[in-house]
Amino acid sequence: MLPIGPLMIEHRLIERMIAVMKEQIPRFARKKEINSEFIETAVDFIRTYADRCHHGKKEDILFRELSKKKLKDEHRKIMEELVEEHRWGRKTVGELVDAKEKYVRGKKEQLTTMLDRMKALVEFYPKHIEKEDRHFFIPCMEYFGEQEKDSMLQEGWEFDRKLIHEKYQNIVNNAEKSTV
């Protein structure tokens, strides 16, 4: 089994959430108000599942192992682009959160910023996923032997197993800090 299988399955769930976000944009624009709970849910999904879980496995496992290999220039270039795209995604989600917090505090003009950031994410993810699925994951598996692939797959499962604990450890740590 290739270690990219789980990553590609994760892409399908990310695509579903992005589709829901895409549906919400015109609704929010038409109503001239945003559902802050939906934004919190979307942000949690992107930060936890798409970024920490999915991108985390790519950066912490796949890219780490690929960086030990003599990659073709095109593969190294795509890997560098993907890392930059992950950073862009984190920044854009942060801007969405900032705008949402200002909006909730009464700055209704932040609706435009939230809609812009949502549109940017909705446009970004399909292109990013296509780049990985069609131009990166499969060709990059040629750099690895079966034992290396199995090892990365095991590490990915261990990464997933620990993720829920990491998330809620951080929630409690932040809650403790906010009560001090």
User: Any idea where the domains of the chain sit in the sequence?
Assistant: 4-178
CATH architecture of 4-178: Up-down Bundle (1.20)
Q: Residues of the chain with pLDDT > 70: what percent?
A: 97
| Average pLDDT of the chain to the nearest whole number | 93
Query: Tell me, what's the pLDDT at 148?
Result: 95
Question: Region 32-42: what's the mean pLDDT?
Answer: 94
Q: What is the pLDDT of residue 3?
A: 61
Residue 38 is encoded by which pair of tokens? 């939906």
